[in-house]
Homo-oligomer: A and B are copies of this chain.
Amino acid sequence: MEFKISKELIHQIEELITAKDDRELNVLLADIHFADIAEILDELDFDDATYIFKLLDSDKTAEILLELEDDARENILKRLSPKEIAEELDELETNDAADIIAELSQEKKEEVIQELEDVEHAKDIVDLLRYKEDTAGGLMHKELVKVNENWNVLTCVKEMRIQAEHVSRVHSIYVVDDEDRLKGRLSLKDLLTTSTKTPISEVYISKLNWVKVDAEDVEVARIMQKYDLEAIPVVDELGRLVGRITIDDIVDVIKDEADKDYQLAAGISQDVEADDSIIELTKARLPWLVLALLGGFISVRVLGLFEGAMAEHGNLFFFTPLIAAMAGNVGVQSSAIIVQGLANDTLSGSVFNRLLKEISLSLLNGVILAAILFAGSHVLLNVDFTIGIIVTVALISVIVIASLIGTFVPLLLDKFGIDPALATGPFITTSNDICGILIYFSIARWILGF
């Protein structure tokens, strides 16, 4: 049932644009969902995209604006006058409008705000601009349905009909007192199923979840998931109802957070997509590679320290990549589990217990792997007994150390308010490579005494 863009369609549209055949274009695009039109505009060059954009009604284009990829939106906005942008924003929910204004240059921002028709709407938007993007205030929108605890169901329903006009999804109706303080909620169902005379104060549910306006977005996401909420009211320091966050905004937060952690674990330092420009991709990838390269320098120096072994025990050096790789892999596994535990807030128990657990876990894994290595080193790699012992002992110790580093570096970062996900990927592999090699050759020197 889903719409799929075809090369033919894109080509047809481009031709209609050059032919300036607006009638045909309108017919062609009439039945296409705005999310799909956004995908089409992403494929067109910016002038063509702007042409289509100006052609369509602002109720449709406003939604398209939200779905466009950043560079397309930026370039289309550049080509629109403040008045044209304001027309789009008048169609949008306050938080979406605020997000778009936030992307504009300072002076254009003011010009656009001047042009906004609906003054109430404009007030709300400007109000939202105050809040940090990654807080409840930055996520919430002003559209919601609220009723006074002193009304009865009938007044409430009347009031709702008016308020609902501006609210795309009602979810629940919030009950406030005369000072606008949040008292509770009503469900549409309750209204459908209670007599019109009943006073609200008798039917509303006073127990409800809410978040403070300065709560972190990931925190809000956790609460809404845990309590399975589709909307949550946002209150200010005085407990007054200032806005509402709906699950669709939270879905994006969850997705972005997961993507971010994933990319950091892979050594990509900013949100990029396969289709971004080579420069963008390099910006995101090169820093971590440079870090890894510098780490590589250290490993070269470390190996240099043990040059003495080369004459007699040269084949020790054959095992360095194996030891380094195992250290890296174990470290990434440990850190990934901790990072997810922190993200989902599922870490319980004391640090000491975690230490014990990680040691026993890595010992168990280490011994099994060392056994395989010891056997393999004779059967497959036919190295002599001593070397076999050395690499085996080294592997166990390296695995234990690596898993401890992988576990506690993220925990430490988190303690200092740094994103623990930074400690996954290249960072952990590089540091574990170095430790691993150092441990391995120290053990070798200690046993062989070179």
B-binding residues in A (CB < 8 A) = 1-2, 31, 33, 35, 43, 157, 160-161, 164-165, 167, 169-170, 188-189, 192-193, 207, 209-212, 223, 225-228, 230, 247-248, 250-251, 254-255, 258-259, 261-263, 265-268, 272-275, 278, 281-282, 285-286, 288-290, 292-293, 295-297, 299-301, 303-304, 307, 310, 314-315, 317-326, 328-330, 332-333, 335-338, 340-341, 344, 346-349, 354, 357, 360-361, 364-365, 368-369, 372-373, 376, 380-381, 424-426, 429-430, 433, 437
Contacts and interface: CB of A to CB of B under 8 A. Distances in A.
Contacts of A31: 207
Nearest to A306: B318
Task: Please list the 7 inter-chain residue pairs (A to B) with the smallest Cβ-Cβ separation, ordered nearest first.
Answer: A296-B322, A266-B336, A258-B258, A274-B341, A303-B318, A317-B317, A310-B314
A347 to B, nearest CB: 6
Nearest to A304: B318
Oligomeric state, in copies: 2
16 contacts: A161-B192, A161-B193, A225-B251, A255-B258, A259-B340, A265-B336, A266-B332, A266-B337, A273-B340, A273-B344, A274-B341, A293-B376, A303-B317, A310-B314, A317-B320, A320-B321
Contact of A293 (B275, B326, B361, B425): B326
A258 B221 CA distance: 15
Given A261-B262, A266-B332, A365-B285, A248 B228 contact: yes
Contacts of A247: 230, 247-248, 251
B265 A265 contact: yes
Contacts of A282: 361, 364-365
A31, A278, A373: residue with the most chain B Cβ atoms closer than 10 Å? A278
A268 B336 contact: yes
Contact of A189 (B164, B261, B296, B429): B164
A242 B231 CA distance: 27
A226 B300 CA distance: 49
Contacts of A437: 321
Nearest to A342: B274
Contact of A322 (B33, B225, B254, B293): B293
Nearest to A231: B230
Given A258-B262, A292-B325, A304-B381, 18 more contacts: A1-B211, A35-B228, A157-B192, A167-B189, A230-B247, A250-B251, A262-B340, A266-B332, A266-B337, A268-B336, A273-B337, A273-B341, A278-B361, A278-B364, A286-B369, A288-B329, A320-B321, A328-B429
